[in-house]
């Protein structure tokens, strides 16, 4: 079996999954009924729609990445700092520690598919060479556009610890990450890291890297509650009741990174439309939202490559929600959120 599929489930791991309240009838389950099945009769029409797509489905030229400034990133600051690298890749500096979420910096979001799904930016794997040592990497789930073997292999010598969704550890082990450096989280599990409480929050989604491991690992988001600020990374998933619960238990948040992109009527329950992303941000009580899960790849036929950004701004305008729009590779702080419409250049 190709290493891209990750690790097989051992008897010991299966027993741990079965002990989770979120494991039922041989798989992890969402908190609300969520259908994801697509019949064979639907496939030809979906493939045709995906090939045709909404135009423009990609930028007119590769999206440039602002060069990484290590000295500025590591400079002392009481406020959290962030760099978004397109799709769901987020680099953070907070309380003197470097953290990274879903470090998918590889060039292909479908490495096992014919032709693949190419990234809108070039040479992003090379960014890892310039990064400092990373104290903590957090993984939301095991889909290829979030957990990338090429990125993990290149990061392997730089990362001190991994926090991952329950079930993801087996993939990292197969790719050579030491077991003692990996901690798995079920929904609502939390720990304290450098004075920041980190909690794995539920989403409405699914997981899997092959034909036989659908929902055999968990999926979620990450909440960071520090002494002065609260930050939330939504992770992938459809709209649901869990957002209000997250807000009640852990919010309100100063800043939230909201999934917004790759949605479609064919999989509405597992990816939010822009108006739902806005509502979810309001549900958790955030004051500022930054849309992620866009500007990296074409994974949906249902919208242009920049439409998620345009629509989330449109739906948030009548509300008190501020929408941040950092360019790819742009360093910003929690108190200085960019709002330039940089995508119009492409």
What's the pLDDT tens digit per position in 249-266? 999 999 999 999 999 999
Share of the chain above pLDDT 90, in %: 90
Q: What are phi and psi of 170, to 5 degrees?
A: -60, -30
Give the β-pairing of 97-101 and 90-94: antiparallel
Name the strand (E) or helix (H) holding 331: strand 331-333
| Among the listed residues 327, 132, 94, the one whose alpha carbon sits nearest the alpha carbon of residue 233 | 94
- What's the mean pLDDT when you consider all of the chain? 94
Confidence of residue 55 (pLDDT cuts 50, 70, 90): confident
Distance CA 192, CA 189 (A): 11
pTM: 0.96
What's the pLDDT tens digit per position in 287-307? 999 999 999 999 999 999 999
Confidence of residue 38 (pLDDT cuts 50, 70, 90): low
Residue 176 has pLDDT above 70, yes or no: yes
Confidence of residue 40 (pLDDT cuts 50, 70, 90): very low
What is residue 14's predicted lDDT score, i.e. its pLDDT? 98
- Domains of the chain in start order, with CATH, are 53-333 (3.60.15.10)
What's the pLDDT tens digit per position in 126-139? 999 999 999 999 99
Residue 200 has pLDDT above 80, yes or no: yes
What is residue 346's predicted lDDT score, i.e. its pLDDT? 97
| ω into 56 cis (within 30 of 0) | yes
Confidence of residue 53 (pLDDT cuts 50, 70, 90): low
Residue 323 has pLDDT above 70, yes or no: yes
Confidence of residue 35 (pLDDT cuts 50, 70, 90): confident
Q: What are phi and psi of 227, to 5 degrees?
A: -65, -30
Per-residue pLDDT averaged across 186-193, rounded?
Answer: 98
């Amino acid at each position: 079996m190709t290493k891209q599929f990750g690790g097989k489930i051992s008897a010991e791991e299966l027993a741990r999954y079965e002990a989770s309240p979120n494991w039922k009838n041989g798989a992890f389950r969402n908190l609300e009924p969520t259908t994801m099945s697509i019949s064979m009769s639907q496939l030809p029409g979906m493939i045709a729609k995906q090939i045709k797509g909404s135009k423009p489905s990609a930028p007119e030229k590769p999206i440039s990445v602002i060069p990484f400034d290590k000295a500025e990133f590591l400079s002392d600051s009481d406020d959290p700092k962030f760099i978004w690298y397109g799709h769901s890749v987020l680099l953070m500096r907070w309380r003197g520690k470097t953290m990274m979420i879903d470090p998918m910096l590889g060039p292909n979001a479908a490495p096992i598919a014919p032709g693949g799904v190419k990234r809108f930016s070039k040479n992003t794997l090379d960014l890892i060479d310039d990064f400092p040592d990373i104290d903590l990497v957090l993984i939301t789930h095991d889909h290829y556009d979030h957990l990338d073997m090429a990125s993990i292999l290149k990061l392997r010598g730089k990362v001190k610890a991994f926090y991952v969704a329950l079930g993801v550890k087996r993939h990292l082990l197969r790719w050579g990450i030491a077991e003692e450096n990996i901690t798995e989280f079920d929904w609502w599990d939390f720990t304290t890291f450098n004075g920041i409480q980190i909690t794995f929050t539920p989403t409405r989604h699914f997981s899997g890297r092959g034909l036989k491991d659908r929902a055999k690992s968990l999926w979620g988001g990450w909440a960071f509650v520090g002494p002065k600020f609260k930050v939330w990374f939504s992770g992938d998933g459809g709209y649901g009741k869990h957002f209000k619960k997250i807000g009640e238990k852990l919010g309100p948040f100063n800043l939230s990174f909201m999934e917004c992109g790759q949605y479609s009527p064919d999989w509405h329950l597992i990816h939010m439309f822009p108006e739902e992303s806005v509502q979810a941000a309001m549900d958790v009580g955030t004051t500022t939202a930054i849309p992620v899960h866009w500007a990296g790849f074409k994974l949906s036929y249902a919208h242009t490559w920049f439409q998620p950004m345009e629509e989330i701004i449109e739906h948030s305008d009548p509300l008190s929600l501020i929408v941040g729009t950092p360019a790819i590779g742009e360093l910003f702080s929690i108190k200085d959120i960019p709002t330039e419409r940089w995508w119009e250049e492409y």
